[in-house]
Structure 1
Amino acid sequence: MSPVLYDHLAEAIKDPDAIRVRDDLICLRFETMKVYSALGAVRHLLDTGVVSPGDTLIDSSSGIYAHALALACHRYGMKCHIVGSTTVDRTLRIQLEILGATVEQVPSSNNLQLDQNLRVRRINEILRANPSYHWMRQYHDDIHYLGYSAVARLIDELVPTGPLCLVGGVGTGASTGAIAQYLRNSGRDVNLVGVQPFGSVTFGAEKTCDPDMIIAGIGSSIEFQNVRHDLYDRLHWVSFEYAMSAAVDLLRSSGVFAGLSAGAAYLSAMYEHACDSSRRHVFIAADTGNRYAESAFARHAEAFSLDAMRPREISSLEELAVPWSAMSWDRRDASRLADAYAVEEVRS
């Protein structure tokens, strides 16, 4: 293969490494997955004249999107302002500042809902003072779907025939949902399995809390308006403890060093593959494990073995329970979210 010379780092790092971690189980390991989303969105905004080179783009982030947006702004000559959570560590913050982004972080909080609400409130304050800024609205705008058409094409080339199962964090909706939508539009038979943390409002788990922490980036205690619920066939809610254990196993067994969302996706994909081996299973590792080195990987001695972890299969959100629950969603739309709480009376 001839070497490729890129014009910018954002283009070079966006493509994932495809790694077979088990038979018929493929990991797509990204350095920072949301570069696809940020590049696609910024390019579209420029092409349509919504923004111009030199304008300031602003958004909130727990880390991955902050890096992606800063790279996209650097690539296209834009200014960037990030309102970050406390998970934006010193190493990332220094990179963002050198790339030209301005960064501010909300006060530390153990409550994700408070953290996210504070960040959104701060963005609104900044926009009132700077009406020329463009809010990227990664939590709400469908524009972030655009960049993932390339990931769908990559998966289509990687697994050219047969039914697929795609497993990964639901996040803002513009990741696993977007990839599955593009694959289905091309005619592929795709089951989509979304991974959520306990405490996330997106699929109704806000009443069930994780005693350790909510895994940042794959769920939220505020509504994400660009999530298309009707794209998802199955859902898994995974605790920090189980995601950490699976991320440790992934590193130990395959050498893949990836974040907590990757651990949760790996664990869920292993289970789904055991239930339906007729499909090739692809799971998403959206970022590296660097920012979780101390909070998760340093606790590797506490990790459970994969064989010790099994999900609680539920038919109603009323049955949702830590540390791991799984449910058939059957592509219900958001209007039927309330129905998922009702246990069918015919059980009796």
Structure 2
Amino acid sequence: MKAPDLLRLADNVVLARFETMKVYAALGAVRTLLDRGTVRPGQTLVDSSSGIYALALAMACHRYGLGCHIIASTTVDAAMRAQLEILGATVDQMPPSDSLRLDQERRVRRVRQLLAERGDLHWMRQYHDGIHYAGYQEFADLVDTALPGTPLTVVGAVGTGASTGGLVQPLRRRGRDIRLLGLQPFGSVTFGSEGFSDPEAIIAGIGSSIPFDNVRHDLYDTLHWVDFRHAMAGAVDLLRTHAVFAGLSTGAAHLVTAWEAARNPDRM
């Protein structure tokens, strides 16, 4: 479940296809907290999520005998919620909203309310705690072994910053020639686009309406701004051309990668 399949889409394009994204982040964080004694077996971990991190955290808690409570975005669907509950997590879901900012602010407010009411909870703070970088060392090892030597350009959604940052930092420490291209939706405050909006959809997980401490801005060499229609077109093309079914953030990454790969054929 944790390690991705590496699929070659073109001579210089490789897709890391995850069964469930963010397992590296959740497992690495939970293991580190247990090793440090910050949390103990039987304790309940709580966090806010638009879905993917929630599933990864629920699996990590299930594995290590911890409780899990998720403050879920309005974008979490019935199938995802069912998986969380079967794994033993309890779920608070926010009401429908057309605003990414309102959805995120409601979730954070609910987390703070729960922490005030219950002293046994540990807030995972996936948006702010650098502990979520730790697990991606394993992913970096996998990429380094599979794609040795070549100059490497990593394309990925910025989101909380942990997946892209957690991958490139260990590779750069090894002396690899690494460029990092981040994806952002219009309206995200992370790189100053809050003055713009994409009225067609919330692309959850790519950007943010609140500042994320986990985003290390200096790691990114270039940013691409992608709207809903282009992200959807990328997702459709990925399925049609390569039979890979994935969501909007992957569609956006596929579109940007094709654009970059055509202009930089010497890089992987």
- TM bracket, shorter-chain basis: over 0.9
Q: Is 1:60 paired with 2:33? A: no
Structure 2 CA distance for aligned equivalents of residues 275 and 253 of structure 1: 20
Match of 1:270 in 2: 258
Query: How far apart, CA to CA, are the structure 1 residues paired with 2:63 and 2:262?
Result: 43
2:58 touches 2:84 (CA, 8 Å); kept in 1? yes
Please state if 1:31 is matched with 2:19: yes
SS at match of 1:175: helix
Residues in 2 aligned to 1:178 and 1:272: alpha-carbon distance in whole angstroms: 22
RMSD: 0.7
Q: Choose from 116, 141, 160 the match for 1:153.
A: 141
Letter of the 1:152 partner, please give it: A
Match of 2:165 among 162, 177, 198: 177
CA distance in 1, matches of 2:4, 2:124: 24
Tell me which structure has the larger Cα radius of gyration.
Answer: 1
Q: Gaps spanning 5+ residues in structure 1: where?
A: 1-12, 281-348
* Separation of aligned partners in 1, 2:11 and 2:248: 22
Please tell me whether residue 204 in structure 1 is matched to residue 192 in structure 2: yes
Match of 1:331 in 2: none
Shift of 1:34: 0.4
Match of 1:92 in 2: 80
User: What is the CA deviation profile of residues 48-71 of structure 1, one whole-angstrom value per residue up to 9, with x for unaligned ones?
Assistant: 000000000000000000100000
- Distance in structure 2 (CA, Å) of the matches to 1:128 and 1:67: 25
Deviation of residue 218 (structure 1)?
Answer: 1.3
Paired residues of 1:17 and 1:28 also in contact (CA < 8 A): yes
The list of structure 1 runs, each at least 4 consecutive aligned residues, that deviate by more than 4 angstroms after superposition, is none
Q: How far 1:244 sits from its partner (Å)?
A: 0.4
**CA distance in structure 2 between the partners assigned to 1:132 and 1:149 by the alignment:** 30
Q: Partner letter of residue 40 of structure 2?
A: S
- Find the aligned partners of 2:39 and 2:171 in 1 and give their Cα distance: 30
Q: Paired residue for 1:248, among 233, 236, 261?
A: 236
Percentage of identical aligned residues: 63
Aligned residue pairs, count: 268
What do residues 123-159 of structure 1 show as CA deviations (whole Å, max 9, x unaligned)?
0000000122000000000000000011111111110
Structure 2, gaps ≥5 residues long: none
Distance in 1 of aligned mates of 2:44 and 2:4: 28
Residue aligning to 1:70: 58
1:47 aligned residue? 35
Q: TM-score, normalised by structure 2?
A: 0.99
Instruction: Provide Cα deviations, 1:97-129, integer angstroms capped at 9, x if missing partner.
Output: 111100011111100000000000000000000
Select the residue among 227, 230, 250 that pairs with 2:218: 230
Alignment of 1:274-289 (within 5 A): 274-280=262-268
Q: Which residue of 1 aligns with 2:201?
A: 213
**Structure 1: how far apart are the matches of 2:146 and 2:174?**
15
**Residue identity matched to 2:177:** D
CA contact (8 A) 1:198 1:214 kept: no
Partners of 1:230 and 1:131 in 2: how far apart?
36
Q: CA shift at 1:213, angstroms?
A: 1.2
What TM-score does the superposition give when structure 1 sets the normalisation length? 0.76
Q: Is the 8 A contact 1:201 1:219 kept in 2?
A: yes
Partner of 2:6: 18
2:177 is matched with: 189
Q: Which of residues 155, 167, 174 in structure 2 aligns to 1:167?
A: 155
In the aligned structure 2, how far is the partner of 1:259 from the partner of 1:155? 22
Q: Give the structure 1 partner of residue 122 of structure 2.
A: 134
Structure 1 residue matching 2:110: 3-state secondary structure: helix
